[in-house]
């Protein structure tokens, strides 16, 4: 059983980045709900726990403590960028090595493929959720909320589905998940 900890960035009092009428916390929750639904409905051998399932604000330490206590196999934190640029980038903890680097390569590639986002590259960052999680961890930054073209994509439910699909496809590959096989109704 592959234990996936899904962390929608921000929430509650912490809206995250804002722009073009959008709040990061709402987009990250929607993406993570879609990743969860897709994996749970279509694949076996996966167990998913989320840092939040609604508009609440768990602190960063409470998020990583929850993942550590649960014994997650992988920590996936989903965010939306700001700062006026465009495209997708992902982060792992500096110098963390394998298997995290392979996980980043695989998931990053699947997201770029699914979304067509401009590829800003695979990066390293000393972020709390990457540093304090005791399992391979990846943080994704899905477009720029304050870029008019990225924001238009983030407002489109079909595009949000594509972002979720890319993350889910990456998880399927790194965890080697098998599609749920229909039960033989003839018994
Ligand atoms: Zn964020």
Cis link prior to 18 (omega < 30° from 0)?
no
pLDDT of residue 135: 98
| Structure confidence by residue, pLDDT tens digits, 108-138 | 999 999 999 999 999 999 999 999 999 999 9
| Structure confidence by residue, pLDDT tens digits, 160-172 | 999 999 999 999 9
pLDDT of residue 182: 76
Domains of the chain by start residue, with CATH = 2-179 (3.40.630.40)
Ligand 1 center–CA 180 separation, angstroms: 33
Tell me phi and psi for residue 116, to 5 degrees.
Answer: 70, 10
Indicate left, alpha or beta for 97 from its phi (over 0: left) and psi (-120 to 50: alpha). Answer: left
Give me the residue label for tokens 């996980």.
103
Ligand 1 center–CA 52 separation, angstroms: 14
Active-site residue, from 42, 132, 141, 161:
141
């Amino acid at each position: 059983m592959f234990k996936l900890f899904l962390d929608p960035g921000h929430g509650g009092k912490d809206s995250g980045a804002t722009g073009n009428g959008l709040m990061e916390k709402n987009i990250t929750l929607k993406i993570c709900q879609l990743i969860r639904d897709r994996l749970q409905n279509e694949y076996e051998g996966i167990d998913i726990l989320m840092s939040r399932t609604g508009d609440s604000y768990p602190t960063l330490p409470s998020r990583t403590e929850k993942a550590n206590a649960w014994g997650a196999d992988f920590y996936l934190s989903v965010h939306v960028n700001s700062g006026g640029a465009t495209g997708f980038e992902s982060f792992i903890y500096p110098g963390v090595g394998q298997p995290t680097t392979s996980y980043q390569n695989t998931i990053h590639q699947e997201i770029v493929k699914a979304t067509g986002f401009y590829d800003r590259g695979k990066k390293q960052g000393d972020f709390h959720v990457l540093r304090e999680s005791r399992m391979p961890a990846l943080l994704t930054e899905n477009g720029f909320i304050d870029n008019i073209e990225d924001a238009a994509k983030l407002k489109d439910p079909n595009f949000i589905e594509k972002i979720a699909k890319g993350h889910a496809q990456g998880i399927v590959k790194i965890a080697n998940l098998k599609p749920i096989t229909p039960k033989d109704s003839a018994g």
